[in-house]
Amino acid sequence: MTENKTSIPIEELSGIKLDPTEERILKDQISVTERKISYITLYRFATKLDWIIMFIGLVFSMAAGSTLPTIALLLGSMIDSYIDIKIHTISTNEFTEKVDFVALELVYIAIGMFVASYISMATWVYTGERIARQIREQYLRAILRQNIAYFDKHGSGDVTTRITSDIHLIQDGISEKVTLAFQDIAQFLSSFIIAFVASWKMTLLMSYLIPLIVVINGLSSKFSAKFVKKSLNLNSRAGIIAEEAISTIRTAVAFGAQKKLSNVYNSYLSDARKEGYKKWLLQGFTVAFIFFCAYGSYSLAYWVGSTMILNHELSPGDVVRVFFSVLIGSHSLTLLSSNLQAITIAVGAGSKIFETIDRVPSIDIASDTGDKPENVDGRIQFKNINFIYPTRPEVKVLDDISFDVEPGSTVALVGSSGSGKSTIVSLVLRFYDTISGDIFLDGHDIKSLNLIWLRRQIGLVSQEPILFSTTIAENVSYGLVGSIYEKLPDKEKREMIENACKMANAHDFIMKFPDKYETMVGERGILLSGGQKQRIAIARAIIKDPKILLLDEATSALDTQSESIVQNALDNASKGRTTIVIAHRLSTIRNATKIIVMNKGVIVEYGTHKELMDKNGYYSKLVETQQIQQTLKAEENLNTLDSFIIPPKDEVNTIKDNENHQITRILSNESQLSKQKPDIEMGYNDHHYNAWELIKKVTFLNRPELLMRTLGIIASIILGCIFPIYAIIFGGFIQTFSETGDTLRHDASFWAFMFLLIGAVSFVVNFTQNVGHGFSSEKLAERIQSMYFASILRQDISFFDEENHSVGTLASNLSLDVTHINGFVGSVLGNLLQAMTMVLASVIVSFIIGWKLTLVCLCAVPLLIIGGSIRVKMVDGFQKKTKKAYEYSAQIACEGTDNIRTVAALTRENELWEKYHNSLNEPMRQGFKNAFLASTTIAFASCISFLVNALAFWYGSKLFMNNEYELKQFFTIYMAVINGSTNAGRIFSYAPDISKAKFASATIFSLLERVPTIDIWSKNGEKVETVKGHIKFSDVHFHYPTRHNIPVLQGLNLEIQPGQYAALVGPSGCGKSTTISLTERFYDVTSGTITIDEINIAKMNVNNLREQIALVSQEPSLYDMTIKENILFGSLPGQKITQDDIEKACREANIHDFIVGLPDGYETQVGQKGTQLSGGQKQRIAIARALIRSPKILLLDEATSALDSESENIVQNALDAAAQGRTTLAIAHRLSTIQHADVIFVIKDGKVHEQGTHQELLKLQGVYYKMVQEQGLGKSN
C-alpha cells in the first residue's frame, strides 16, 4: 500500500505569515492520504466466519473448475475407441461398454458439478453481501467521523454516489465474479496438468504464448484500474453538482439556471466518458489478443499433433486430450480476463472508499481520549484566540480575541456580517481548532476534553433549524443522545420530551395535532412553520438540561408574533445556564449580561445594553439603524416598550388563532400525504420495461452512435457464428485421424490454416465488439445521465414536494440506475447477442449435418429455459424489493451528511449509523435469499451441460455404430450442440444484469417521458419583450398539490402598480412566501388569476415570465463554483455580461470590497453550498446575482435576514436604489426594512387583512400597529 499526502498549499494561498505549527494545524484538518489499495484490502472487514465460508467456497470453486477438463480425458479415450472400432481392433461389445462407462461418468460429473457450482456460488455471493454491507457501514461511519473542515473542502455531495454506485461495483468484484475467477484458474491448471501428462512436448509448443498473455493481462488490469478510478472520481464530482442542484431546486428554477447547471454536470460526464473510452480500447485489444493467441495455439496443435501421429509419438486420443485441455485452459484465460475486469473495477472503486475509511481526523469524534469532568459550571474563557478557516487560509477570521463568559450568564455577540460571531460558536463546539490561543471550559483547555463529552454539555439552536424526517418526539429526543437519560423507559422519556416542549412554548401546538408528538415533520421539517421548527429545535437543545446554550440567530427567521413566543422560550431556557447569543435583531439581546461588539475579527466594544448605549459608539449606531420611525405623536410613548414584552391576552389569542390555522394546514397535509402515499410512490416510475422494450428505447437513444453500435452488433453476431464454424473444422480434423500419410498431413495443414484464419477474424471482431459496444455504451450512459439530470431539473416544484422524491433518492437513482443500464448495453449486450447467435447457429449447423442427434440433444433446452425463466423471475423480485430499500438507506446517509453540523452538535453520529445499519437488514436478507436461490439455477444450468454431454456421447455412439453417422458428422454435431447448450445456460446467467436494467429503466425512462404541468421546455405561451411590472392577484385560492384539501390562500386580492415597492407582512403560515412562489409560477393557482401587465401568467411562456423576475430568498443557495460563476447564474440567456457589470452589481449589494480583498477575488471558490462564506456574505452575493439580470420585477423573501445591522442598512439602501424603475415585492419580518414601502399588505389566513403605507397602517392601530410595537428598541426618533 502506497501513500501520498496531499493538502492545500497554505503558503501559496496566504498572505498571512504562519509558523510551521500553525501551518500544520490547518493542514491536518483538511489533508487526505491518497491510497493505492490492493485487492485484498477489499476484504478488510471480512470476519473469521466469512473467511471460513470463502475458503469452503474456494475449495468448491476449484472443484467446479476442475470438472470441465475431465471431458478432455473422456473425449480422448472415446476418440481412440472410435478409431479402434472403425479399424476393427476392438469388438462392438467392448465399444458399447466403453460408451456406457463414459456416459455414466459424465452423469456422475454432472451431479458433482451441481453440488460444487451451487456451494461455490452461494458462499461467495453470501459473503459478498456481508462484506459489502460492512464496507457501506464502515464508510458511513468514517464519513460521520470526519471533522467539519473536511466537509468544507471535500463536501458531502459525493457520499450518495460512493455509497450506492461505487460500493455496488466493489460488491460485484468480491462475490460472484470471484468464484468464477477461481473456477477459471482451476480450469486452467487442471487442463494443463492433463495436457502435460498426455504430452508435455505438444503442450509446451501450444503454450508458448501463455506468458505473453499473462503479462498483457497484468498490464491491462493496471492501466484499466487507473482509467476506472479517474472515471469514478469525475462521476463523483458530477454527483456533487447534481445533489447541490436538486437540493436548491427553487433557486435553479427561479433563475432559469437548469441549462447552466446541466452544462457543468455534463462537462464532468464528458471527461468521465473519455476515460471510459480508454478503458474499452485497452480491454478490446487485450481480449482480441488473447483470442488470437488461443486460436493460433489451436492451429499449431493441429499441425504438430498430426505430425506426432504420423511419427507414432502420440495416438489420436492423446492429441485430442492435449488439444481439448489446452483449448479449455486457454478459454478459461479469456473468461478470467473478463472476471478480472470486474475485480479491477472494484479496486478502482475501493480506493476513494478506503481513503475515507482510513482517514483519522485531527478532531476525532470517535476518540475515547480526553478528560470527562464530573461537574460543569459553564465558565468559558477565550484567551488570545487567532483563527483561520483551513479552506480559507488567506483570511484571518479572529485576531487575538479574549473574553470570559461567567457561569449562568448570557453573553451576546453582535457585529457586522463576517466579523467572526458564528466562528466563536463553532469553536466552542470544537468544530475547528485555533491556530493559536486557548479556549477553556471551567479551567480545562477544550482540546484536553473528550470531544463527545464536550459537545454533550452544549445545546445549540441555529439560525436555520434542521429537523430530521421523523416524528416530533424523535426529533426532540435526539437531544438526549449520549446523555444519562437516553436509556430511560419510554414513559419517563416522554415526560422529559413534553417538559422540554413546554419550556420551549411548543407543547400546546403539538397537542393540537391528531398524532400529537408522533406527527411526522417531513424532510428538513418542511411540514412545520419556521416558528414551530425553531421551538422544537429549542426543546431539543434544552431537553438534556445542558450547562451551556448556544443561540446563533435563533429568531432571525421568525415573524414578530412567533418571535415573541420563541424569545420567551429562549429567556426561559437560558435560566441557570451559560448562554452565548448571536443576534442581528438587537431587540432580542438587550437583557444580556454582557454584549460583545465585533468587527473584522476583533472586539471593538463590550458592556451591558445601557452601558453601550451611553457610550454612543458602534453599538449605539447599530441600534439606531434598526429603530422604526413611528410618527404618530399620540402613540410615541409606546415606543419605549420592552421588546421582550409578553403580548396582551387578545394578542396571544391572535397568535394562537394563527397557530391553529397553521396546525390545521399541517395536520391535513400530513393526513393527505398519508392518503396519497401509494399514488405518489407510483408517480413516475410505475412502468416496468421488458428486455425488448428496453433494447428498443436504448437503440433509439443510441442513434447518433448507430455506426459504432451496428459494428458492435455485427461483431457479436460474427463471434457467435465462429464457434459453430469451429465445430465444423474440429469435425474435419477428427476425420483426418482415420487417414494416413500425405493425406493426413495435407488435410491437417488445411484445418490448421483454417484455425489460424479464424484467429485473425476473431482478433478483428473481438476488438470491434468491445470498442463498438463499449464506446456506444459510454456515450449512451453520458446521454442518458445528462437527459435524466435535465429531466429532473425540468420538473415543476410540486414534483420535489413529493415524499419519495427526496434529494437522496433522486441522487441515488441518477448514479446507480445509469450504471445498471450502462452495464447492460455495454459488455452484457455484446455477450448476450454472441451467446444467442451461438445457440441459433449451433442448432442450424447441427440440424443440417444430422437432425437425429440434434433433436435428441435439444430435449434439454426446455429444462434450461424453465430454469432460466425461474431465475429471471426470482431476480426481478429481488431487484424490486432491494431497490426501494437501498433508496431508503441512501436517503438516510444523504440526510445525515447534508446536515453534518447538526449531527455533530447533537453527537448523533452513532445513532444515525445505527439507523443506517438497520435500514440495510431488508436488502441483506433479500440478498441472502437471492444468493441461495439464484445459485440453484446457475448450478442447474451447469449440470444440464454435462448431462447433454452424456446423452450426446451415448446416442451419437449408437448412430455411429449403426453407420448412420460418420466420425466427422458425430463430432461436428457434438461440438456444436455442447456449445449451444452451454451458451443457452449462459444466456440466463445475465438475468441479474437484465433485471437491474429493467428496474433502472422504469425510473429513468418514466421520468424522461414525464411532462410536468408547468414545463420549462415548452415553447407555448405568450412572450413579451419587456414588462412594466403591474402585478394583480384577483380572488386567488390556492392549495399545494400534495395538500389537496388544505387552503393556503383563500381569496387573496392585491394589486401592485408598476414601479411600486410593495411589502407583505404577517404571521408564519399566512401565505406570504406562497404569494412569491405563485408570482414565479412555481405552482398554478387553484382558482382566480394572477396577471402581470394584465396578462394571465398561466398563459405566458414560463421561461419568458421568469426572465422578467429576480428572486432573493431567505436562505441563499450558492453552488460549488467561483463567486463570479455564481453571480453569472443570474444572467439571462444571451445577455452579455462584462466584468464591469458584475462589479457594479456587487457594489450595489455591498460585497465588492470584500471580494476584491480575497487573494483570488472573483475567482474565489465558495465551497459546497457556499460553506466558505458567512451567511451575510452569501446573502449579498445572492442579491448581486439577482441584480445582474436587471429585472423588471424584484422579489425579496427576507432578503436581508442574514445581515448585521450595518450591512442590512447599506444593502437595504442598495435594494431601495435597485427598486427604482422596477416593481418590488418584499417579505420582511424586520419592519424597519419596509417602512418606506409604497404599500404594505398585512396577510392573515390567506387574505389581505390590512393594506396601506406605514403611517396609514399605524393610524389603524390594528395588527400591523401591534407588530411595530413589539419591534421597538427602547429609543424613539
**What DSSP state is assigned to residue 1190?**
-
Q: What does the pLDDT read at residue 1204?
A: 66
pTM for the full predicted model: 0.74
Task: Give the separation between CA 605 and CA 584, rounded to whole angstroms.
Answer: 16
Mean pLDDT of 1187-1208: 80
Contacts of 693 (CB under 8 A, 6+ apart): none
Please give the single-letter amino acid code of residue 580.
I
The residue with greater pLDDT, 882 or 1101, is 1101
- Over 60: is that where the pLDDT of 683 sits? no
- Over 70: is that where the pLDDT of 633 sits? no
**What DSSP state is assigned to residue 70?**
H
Buried b (16+ CB within 10 A) or exposed e, 271-282: bbbebbbbbbbb
Task: Give the separation between CA 381 and CA 580, rounded to whole angstroms.
Answer: 12
Helix orientation angle between 167-174 and 316-357, rounded to the nearest 10 degrees: 150
410-415 vs 32-36, strand pairing mode: unpaired
The C-alpha cell that represents 1256 in the structure block: 396609514
Which is nearest to 907 in space by CA: 310, 483, 362?
Answer: 483
Task: Give the separation between CA 759 and CA 1195, rounded to whole angstroms.
Answer: 71
Task: Give the separation between CA 1112 and CA 1115, rounded to whole angstroms.
Answer: 9
Please give the single-letter amino acid code of residue 657.
D
Mean per-residue pLDDT over the chain, rounded: 83
Task: Give the separation between CA 365 and CA 25, rounded to whole angstroms.
Answer: 17
For the sheet containing 602-607, what is the strand order?
A: 458-461, 548-552, 578-582, 410-415, 594-599, 602-607
The C-alpha cell that represents 1234 in the structure block: 419596509
Q: What does the pLDDT read at residue 694?
A: 66
Task: Give the separation between CA 843 and CA 859, rounded to whole angstroms.
Answer: 12
- Over 50: is that where the pLDDT of 646 sits? no
Q: Report the C-alpha dihedral over residues 797, 799, 800, 806, rounded to 10 degrees.
A: -170
Contacts of 616 (CB under 8 A, 6+ apart): none
At 830-881, the pLDDT tens digits run 888 888 898 889 889 988 998 888 888 877 777 777 776 776 666 666 666 6
- Over 50: is that where the pLDDT of 803 sits? yes
Is the distance from CB of 1048 to CB of 1040 less than 8 angstroms?
Answer: yes
Task: Give the separation between CA 887 and CA 809, rounded to whole angstroms.
Answer: 5
Q: What does the pLDDT read at residue 643?
A: 31
Task: Give the separation between CA 319 and CA 597, rounded to whole angstroms.
Answer: 95
Q: What does the pLDDT read at residue 1166?
A: 86
Q: What is the DSSP string of 174-191?
A: HTHHHHHHHHHHHHHHHH
DSSP-assigned beta bridge partners for residue 1110? 1194
Task: Give the separation between CA 779 and CA 702, rounded to whole angstroms.
Answer: 8
Is the distance from CB of 503 to CB of 569 less than 8 angstroms?
Answer: yes
- Over 70: is that where the pLDDT of 1034 sits? yes
Region of poorest pLDDT, from 354-363, 482-491, 648-657: 648-657
SS3 1166: coil
For the sheet containing 436-441, what is the strand order?
A: 396-405, 380-388, 436-441, 444-445
Mean pLDDT of 760-780: 92
Task: Give the separation between CA 18 and CA 675, rounded to whole angstroms.
Answer: 61
The residue with greater pLDDT, 344 or 133, is 133
Task: Give the separation between CA 46 and CA 61, rounded to whole angstroms.
Answer: 19
Q: What does the pLDDT read at residue 401?
A: 92
Q: What does the pLDDT read at residue 30?
A: 83
Other residues' Cβ atoms within 10 Å of the Cβ of residue 572: 14
The C-alpha cell that represents 1031 in the structure block: 402585478
SS3 220: helix
**What DSSP state is assigned to residue 580?**
E
Burial class of residue 1158, CB neighbours in 10 A (0-12, 13-18, 19+): middle
Other residues' Cβ atoms within 10 Å of the Cβ of residue 214: 12
- Over 80: is that where the pLDDT of 2 sits? no
How far does CA 329 lie from the centroid of its chain? Answer: 42
How far does CA 1073 lie from the centroid of its chain? Answer: 30
Task: Give the separation between CA 853 and CA 864, rounded to whole angstroms.
Answer: 18
The backbone torsions φ and ψ at residue 594, rounded to the nearest 5 degrees and listed phi first, read -145, 140
Cα distances (angstroms) measured from residue 1116 to each of 802, 1068, 1183 = 23, 19, 9
Q: What does the pLDDT read at residue 677?
A: 36
The dihedral sign for the CA sequence 135, 141, 144, 147: negative
Any idea which residue has 438507506 for its cell?
Answer: 889
**What DSSP state is assigned to residue 575?**
T
Is the distance from CB of 570 to CB of 538 less than 8 angstroms?
Answer: yes
Which is nearest to 592 in space by CA: 567, 557, 614, 628?
Answer: 567
Task: Give the separation between CA 732 and CA 878, rounded to whole angstroms.
Answer: 47
Q: What does the pLDDT read at residue 782?
A: 92
The residue with greater pLDDT, 731 or 630, is 731
Task: Give the separation between CA 1237 and CA 220, rounded to whole angstroms.
Answer: 70
For 855, the enclosing helix (H) or strand (E) is: helix 851-857
Domains and CATH numbers, the chain: 37-362+690-851+861-1007 (1.20.1560.10)
Contacts of 516 (CB under 8 A, 6+ apart): 472, 510
The backbone torsions φ and ψ at residue 1144, rounded to the nearest 5 degrees and listed phi first, read -65, -45
Task: Give the separation between CA 595 and CA 611, rounded to whole angstroms.
Answer: 10
Most confident of 1-15, 602-616, 793-807, 1109-1123: 602-616
Is the distance from CB of 1131 to CB of 1187 less than 8 angstroms?
Answer: no
Which is nearest to 67 in space by CA: 942, 1236, 769?
Answer: 942
Task: Give the separation between CA 71 and CA 102, rounded to whole angstroms.
Answer: 9
Most confident of 70-74, 1086-1090, 1217-1221, 1271-1275: 1086-1090
Q: What does the pLDDT read at residue 667?
A: 35
- Over 60: is that where the pLDDT of 5 sits? no
Q: What is the DSSP string of 871-932?
A: HHHHHHHHHHHHHHHHHHHHHHHHHHHHTHHHHHHTT-HHHHHHHHHHHTHHHHHHHHHHHH
Region of poorest pLDDT, from 462-466, 897-901, 1159-1163: 462-466
Any idea which residue has 468521465 for its cell?
Answer: 272
Other residues' Cβ atoms within 10 Å of the Cβ of residue 1057: 14
Q: What does the pLDDT read at residue 3?
A: 38
Buried b (16+ CB within 10 A) or exposed e, 77-112: bbbbbbbbbeeeebeeeebbebbeebbebbbebbeb
Q: What does the pLDDT read at residue 56?
A: 96
Mean pLDDT of 739-765: 86
The backbone torsions φ and ψ at residue 1241, rounded to the nearest 5 degrees and listed phi first, read -105, 125
Q: What does the pLDDT read at residue 595?
A: 94
Task: Give the separation between CA 667 and CA 672, rounded to whole angstroms.
Answer: 9
Please give the single-letter amino acid code of residue 288.
A
Most confident of 476-485, 811-820, 944-953, 1056-1065: 1056-1065
